[in-house]
């Protein structure tokens, strides 16, 4: 009979060590001897226990029945070998999953760092925009032809005057601003629903 011990080699594949086991059986009504060659001590101990239990119930005329405990131990050994192979495969799968999770964690860490950098850049842009937008708006409004400034002359002080058509500015500015904000709100809702 042959038995296999297995291990994972350096390449990550299962490798097997085959052990040839030989059994010689000598039986007579008063004594039973089984010579086991090429087996480990746990196999011998388990076989000895099975034989001791069986010998008390043994009637003495059926010599072939002594093979039953031997086969029981062999089956148990092969079962254990199969379970070990399954556990080893599961361990390799879990190791691979752990490695994948570690890689995912590293990627998420890098994404978090990039997001922090982007967030910092966005805050900077927002601050610069807040600093320059009001003066830009004021300069744009006062540069329109709706306003007129007459400098002082002939002893009179300077004068500001507003055109009668200044309402045109508001007629376009307010709806355009409302349209822009409405598009932004709809886009935000659409993105929230899409998630």
pLDDT tens sequence across 118-135: 888 888 888 888 788 777
Q: For the chain, which residues score pLDDT lower than 70?
A: 1-17, 19, 55-65, 195
pTM: 0.45
Q: DSSP assignment, residue 156?
A: B
pLDDT tens sequence across 105-118: 999 999 998 888 88
């Amino acid at each position: 009979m042959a038995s296999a011990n297995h291990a994972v080699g350096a390449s990550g594949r299962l490798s097997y060590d085959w052990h040839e086991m030989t059994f010689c059986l000598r039986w007579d009504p008063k004594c039973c001897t089984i010579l086991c060659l090429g087996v480990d001590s746990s196999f011998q101990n388990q076989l000895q226990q099975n034989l001791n239990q069986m010998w008390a119930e043994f009637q003495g005329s059926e010599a072939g029945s002594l093979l039953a405990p031997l086969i029981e131990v062999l089956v148990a050994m092969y079962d254990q070998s199969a379970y070990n192979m399954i556990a080893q495969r599961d361990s390799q799968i879990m190791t691979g999953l752990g490695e994948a999770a570690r890689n995912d964690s590293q990627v998420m860490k890098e994404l978090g760092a990039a997001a922090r950098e982007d967030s910092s850049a966005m805050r900077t842009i927002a601050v610069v925009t807040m600093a320059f937008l009001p003066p830009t708006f004021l300069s744009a409004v006062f540069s329109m032809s709706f306003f007129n400034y007459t400098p002082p002359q002939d002893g009179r002080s300077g004068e500001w005057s507003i055109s009668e058509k200044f309402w045109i500015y508001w007629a376009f500015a307010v709806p355009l601003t409302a349209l822009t904000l409405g598009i932004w709100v709809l886009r935000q809702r659409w993105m929230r629903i899409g998630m």
